[in-house]
C-alpha cells in the first residue's frame, strides 16, 4: 500500500472501526514521525506502521514507533531479530505479512504477535499458494492469531476467513478504492473497469512475482530486452534516491543486505527501486499508462468507491446476514426443521 496508505486513509479506517497501517516503506525515515502525528491528530484509535526492516532508516523508524507508542509494526522480508526485540520491549505489537507457511513459522519463532497471511490472490508481491489453502495451513500450524489477506472485499469473505481459522481479514485493493484513498481518479478508473482476466502476475517490475493490472507499462516491460531493463532499473534507482533523500552509501548498504539476508539475485537488487518509483507514477501522480498498478484479484469484481465507514458497515452487515443464513440452514435451524 505504498503511496496509498496515507495518514488520511489510516485515520478514516480507524474512525470507521478498522485497524489501519501507515505505509512507511515509501517515506523517508525522517518523515515517519510527522505522518504519525497527522494520524494521531485525525484519529484517537490505535493504528500501525508498516516498513521494511532491511531498508535505510529502519532503526530510526523503530525508535519513532516506540517513542510515539504506536500500537503495531508491520514488516515482511528479511525480519531483523534485534529490531523485533526492540519493538516488543516497547510494547509494540509485531505483525508481519507472510506468503508461505515456512515464513509464517519463522515469523512466529522471531516473536510475531500476529501474522497476516497473504495468499496468491493478493496484490503486489505474492506467492503461489491460494489464500484458502495458506490460511488454513497457518491457522493449524501456528500458536499466534492469523489474519487472512488476498482476495477479500466483502462480508462473505470475512465469514469464509473465520471458517478457515483466521481471526479477521486484511484488505489492500478494497481500501485503495475508497473515497479517502489518495489514488487519482484516472488511476482508480483503471482498477474499477478491470476485469478478472486483466489481472495477472508478472516478475518484470522488479524481478519478483507481483499481481498487477495489465497496462501499457507492463506490455512494454515484457517486450524489452535485458539491456533496456537494466537502464530502466538504474534510472529508477536514481529517481528513488532523489525522492527519498537517501545517500548513495545507504543505498549500497541496503543492496548488500538484500543480497545477504533476502537472498536477492544481482538482477533483483538492480531492479529493486523499480516498484516504488513506477507505483508512484500511477498511484500518486495519476499516470496509469507509465506507472504500474499493483492489484489483488478482487479488483476484477469491485465497481464502486465508497467511504471507509460505509464499506466497513457494509462488510459487517453482510457478514452477520451470512452467519444467520448459515445458522438457519444448519441441522436444527429453521430451514433444517422445515425440511425434516
Do residues 120 and 203 share a domain? no
> Which residues, including other chains, have CB under 8 Å from residue 136's CB and lie 6 or more apart?
164, 165
Give residue 90's pLDDT.
Answer: 98
Last residue of a domain, one of 129, 153, 181: 181
Do residues 58 and 204 share a domain? no
Q: Is residue 214 in a domain?
A: yes
Last residue of a domain, one of 139, 159, 181: 181
- 136's grid cell: 488454513
DSSP single-letter state for residue 331: T
What's the number of CA atoms in the CB half-sphere (13 Å) around residue 37? Answer: 7
pLDDT digits (tens, 9 = 90+) for 158-198: 999 999 999 999 999 999 999 999 999 999 999 999 999 99
Each of the 340 residues of the chain gets a pLDDT tens digit; together they read 999 999 999 999 999 999 999 999 999 999 999 999 999 999 999 999 999 998 889 999 999 999 999 999 999 878 999 999 999 999 999 999 999 999 999 999 999 999 999 999 999 999 999 999 999 999 999 999 999 999 999 999 999 999 999 999 999 999 999 999 999 999 999 999 999 999 999 988 888 899 999 999 999 988 876 656 555 655 655 565 455 555 545 544 554 455 455 555 555 555 565 778 889 999 999 999 999 999 999 999 999 999 999 999 999 999 999 999 999 998 876 544 433 3
Give residue 271's pLDDT.
Answer: 58
Give residue 27's pLDDT.
Answer: 94
Q: Is residue 339 in a domain?
A: no
Do residues 188 and 172 share a domain? no
Cβ atoms < 10 Å from Cβ of 35: 19
Do residues 63 and 196 share a domain? no
Do residues 173 and 189 share a domain? no
Do residues 304 and 212 share a domain? yes
Give residue 54's pLDDT.
Answer: 87
Do residues 224 and 306 share a domain? yes
**Minimal CA–CA distance to 136: which of 151, 119, 124, 123?**
119
Q: Is residue 328 in a domain?
A: no
- Write the CATH number for 23: 3.20.20.70
Give residue 277's pLDDT.
Answer: 84
Do residues 58 and 207 share a domain? no
Contact between 12 and 180 under an 8 Å Cβ cutoff? The reply is yes
Instruction: Report d(CA 278, CA 292) in Å as an integer.
Output: 6
Q: Is residue 324 in a domain?
A: no
Give residue 42's pLDDT.
Answer: 98
∠ Cα 102 103 104 (to 5°)? 90
Instruction: Report d(CA 201, CA 211) in Å as an integer.
Output: 4
Number of domains in the chain: 2
- 55's grid cell: 531498508
Do residues 64 and 194 share a domain? no
Rg (CA), the chain: 20
Do residues 210 and 80 share a domain? no
Do residues 194 and 120 share a domain? no
Q: Is residue 46 in a domain?
A: yes
Distance, C-alpha 41 to centroid of its chain: 24
The verdict on pTM exceeding 0.75 is yes
| Boundaries of domain holding 109 | 7-181
Do residues 172 and 248 share a domain? no
Amino acid at each position: 500500500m505504498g503511496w496509498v496508505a496515507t495518514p488520511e486513509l489510516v485515520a478514516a479506517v480507524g474512525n470507521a472501526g478498522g485497524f489501519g497501517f501507515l505505509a512507511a516503506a515509501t517515506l523517508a525515515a525522517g518523515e515517519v514521525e510527522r505522518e504519525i502525528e497527522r494520524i494521531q491528530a485525525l484519529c484517537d484509535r490505535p493504528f500501525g506502521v508498516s516498513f521494511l526492516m532491511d531498508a535505510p532508516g529502519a532503526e530510526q523508524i523503530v525508535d519513532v514507533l516506540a517513542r510515539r507508542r504506536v500500537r503495531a509494526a508491520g514488516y515482511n522480508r528479511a525480519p531483523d531479530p534485534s529490531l523485533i526485540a526492540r519493538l516488543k520491549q516497547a510494547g509494540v505489537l509485531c505483525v508481519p505479512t507472510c506468503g508461505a507457511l515456512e515464513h509464517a513459522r519463522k515469523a512466529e519463532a522471531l516473536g510475531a504477535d500476529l501474522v497476516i497471511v497473504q495468499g496468491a490472490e493478493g496484490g503486489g508481491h505474492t506467492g503461489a499458494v491460494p489464500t484458502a489453502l495458506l490460511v488454513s495451513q497457518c491457522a493449524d500450524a501456528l500458536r499466534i492469531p492469523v489474519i487472512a489477506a488476498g482476495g477479500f472485499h466483502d462480508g462473505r469473505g470475512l465469514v469464509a476467513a473465520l471458517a478457515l481459522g483466521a481471526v479477521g481479514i486484511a484488505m489492500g485493493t478494497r481500501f485503495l478504492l475508497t473515497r479517502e484513498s489518495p489514488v487519482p481518479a484516472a488511476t482508480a478508473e483503471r482498477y474499477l473497469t478491470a476485469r478478472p482476466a486483466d489481472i495477472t502476475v508478472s516478475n518484470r517490475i522488479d524481478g519478483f512475482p507481483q499481481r498487477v493490472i495489465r497496462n501499457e507499462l507492463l506490455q512494454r516491460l515484457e517486450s524489452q530486452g535485458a539491456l533496456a531493463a537494466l537502464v530502466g532499473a538504474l534510472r529508477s534507482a536514481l529517481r528513488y534516491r532523489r525522492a527519498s533523500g537517501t545517500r548513495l552509501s545507504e543505498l549500497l548498504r541496503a543492496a548488500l543486505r538484500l543480497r545477504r539476508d533476502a537472498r536477492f539475485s544481482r538482477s533483483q537488487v538492480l531492479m529493486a527501486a523499480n516498484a516504488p518509483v513506477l507505483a508512484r507514477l500511477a498511484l500518486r501522480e495519476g499516470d496509469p499508462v507509465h506507472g504500474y498498478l499493483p492489484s489483488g484479484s478482487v479488483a476484477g469484481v469491485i465497481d464502486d468507491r465508497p467511504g471507509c465507514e460505509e464499506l466497513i458497515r457494509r462488510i459487517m452487515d453482510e457478514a452477520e446476514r451470512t452467519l444467520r443464513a448459515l445458522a438457519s440452514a444448519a441441522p436444527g435451524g429453521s430451514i433444517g426443521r422445515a425440511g425434516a
